[in-house]
């Protein structure tokens, strides 16, 4: 199989590239990535040594460029990870989220139609379902839960999801879609909660918790997300959506404390800051469909995944030190100084 992976220089996309090269050495992988602030070619150093892997720099929203790439490479499968992915950035500047996440998706699907791609897979998020109340632990998101978004980020992802389903119904494009809960693991950009805590606590710096820290997220180790996508590509039914999550709900405060404990750092580093605008209260995925229909099971419990993740950040300091030494400092100042 020749697979075009977009956004493969980012967090989940790069983990997926390594997963596929290890599990399906017969497949060819082409990575298309614009290398925005979140993309890092250093992350793909080892993959670039593999003759089955190729990197192309470009914008998924650039129609002429994307069509040219499809004409040359003729991918059989497209997996679209490329996106603007950070909620806080979407609150500051929504426009790029619409361009990349919605227009970019439509360009990739137009090229997929034109060049007869056998499967277009869209990577989506549980955030398209909006949020759940904190006092109803019985409620979870199923594939039937209506889309009901809160942030410009989640709205742009929901817009893309609707387009994906429209392309299936209108043009018969063979699509599948996965909606996953919060991922964590290696190569996670340190603007997101878990790597932010790890990298700041290691430098003995305060770790910012929004509001009271009571908001709940459902955490999945990134490798388990990759195995779910692989399964959907091979066994998933065209036109279907699959929710991916492993029942690892934790409040933000529980997450921060677990990471500090693993690092041997004091809870006195916790600093409560002004809450995020429109902050979603709770996400929780019901993964029954992918478990029952495709036999998917996650392998990491939260405490095991956190151990592995913290160990990775300790062993790969140069990866994140490079990132937090540059423009990231200006980002942190801008986003956190007045909170």
- Cα separations in angstroms, 8 against 31, 74, 143, 217: 6, 18, 26, 24
Q: Of 140, 184, 168, which Cα lies nearest the Cα of 313?
A: 184
Q: Which of 120, 153, 221, 242 is catalytic?
A: 153
By CB under 6 A, the residues from 59 to 98 that bind ligand NAD are: 59-61, 81-85
Give the per-residue contact string, 76-105, with ligand TYD (x = CB under 6 A; - = no). -----------x------------------
Q: Of 172, 119, 81, which Cα lies nearest the Cα of 2?
A: 119
Return all residues near 86 (Cβ < 8 A) that are at least 6 apart. 38, 153, 189, 191, 192
CA angle 126, 130, 132 (to 5 degrees): 95
Q: Report yes or no: 82 and 60 within 8 Å, Cβ to Cβ.
A: yes
Exactly one of 3, 4, 11, 112 binds ligand NAD (CB under 6 A); which one? Answer: 11
Closest approach, Cβ 264 to ligand NAD, in A, equals: 26
Give the per-residue contact string, 278-307, with ligand TYD (x = CB under 6 A; - = no). ------------------------------
User: For the packed helices 63-73 and 104-114, what is the interaxial angle rounded to 10 degrees?
Assistant: 40
Partner from ligand NAD, ligand TYD, none binding residue 157, C-beta < 5-8 Å depending on class = ligand NAD
Give the per-residue contact string, 257-276, with ligand TYD (x = CB under 6 A; - = no). -------------------x
Exactly one of 90, 100, 112, 145 binds ligand NAD (CB under 6 A); which one? Answer: 100
| 161 flagged as catalytic | no
Exactly one of 119, 157, 217, 282 binds ligand TYD (CB under 6 A); which one? Answer: 217
> Which residue stretches of the chain are H helix?
11-23, 63-73, 87-92, 95-97, 104-114, 152-171, 193-202, 222-235, 252-263, 288-294, 302-315, 317-324, 328-336
Give the per-residue contact string, 102-141, with ligand NAD (x = CB under 6 A; - = no). --x------------------x-x----------------
In the complex with ligand TYD, the residue whose CB is nearer, 215 or 248, is 215
Return all residues near 262 (Cβ < 8 A) that are at least 6 apart. 306, 307, 310
Closest approach, Cβ 175 to ligand TYD, in A, equals: 24
Catalytic residue annotation: 126-127, 153
């Amino acid at each position: 199989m020749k697979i075009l992976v977009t956004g493969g220089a980012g967090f989940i996309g790069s983990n997926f590239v390594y997963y596929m090269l290890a599990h399906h050495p017969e497949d060819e992988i082409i990575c298309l990535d614009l290398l925005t602030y979140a993309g890092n070619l250093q992350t793909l150093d080892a993959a670039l040594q593999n003759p089955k892997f190729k990197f192309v720099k470009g914008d998924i929203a650039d129609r002429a460029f994307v069509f040219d790439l499809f004409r040359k490479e003729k991918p059989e499968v497209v997996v679209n990870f490329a996106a603007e992915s950070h909620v806080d950035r979407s609150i500051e500047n929504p426009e790029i989220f619409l361009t990349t996440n919605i227009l970019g998706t439509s360009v990739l699907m137009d090229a997929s139609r034109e060049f007869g791609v056998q499967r277009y897979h869209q990577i989506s998020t549980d955030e398209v379902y909006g949020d759940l109340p904190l006092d109803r632990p019985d409620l979870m998101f199923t594939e039937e839960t209506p889309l009901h978004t809160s942030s410009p980020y989640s709205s742009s992802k929901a817009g893309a999801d609707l387009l994906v389903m429209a392309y299936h119904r209108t043009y018969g494009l063979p699509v599948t879609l996965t909606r996953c809960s919060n991922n964590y693991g290696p190569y996670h950009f340190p603007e997101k909660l878990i790597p932010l805590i790890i990298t700041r606590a290691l430098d003995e710096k305060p770790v910012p918790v929004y509001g009271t820290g009571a908001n709940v997220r459902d955490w999945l180790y990134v490798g388990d997300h990759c195995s779910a996508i692989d399964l959907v590509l091979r066994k998933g039914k065209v036109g279907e959506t699959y929710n991916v999550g492993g029942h690892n709900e934790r409040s933000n405060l529980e997450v921060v404390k677990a990471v500090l404990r693993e690092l041997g750092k004091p809870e006195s580093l916790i600093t409560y800051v002004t809450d995020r605008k429109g902050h979603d209260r709770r996400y929780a995925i019901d993964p029954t469909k992918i478990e029952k229909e495709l036999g998917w099971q996650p392998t990491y419990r939260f405490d095991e995944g956190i151990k592995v993740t913290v160990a990775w950040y300790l062993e790969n300091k140069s990866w994140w030190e490079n990132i937090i030494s540059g423009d990231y400092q200006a980002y942190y100042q801008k986003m956190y100084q007045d909170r």
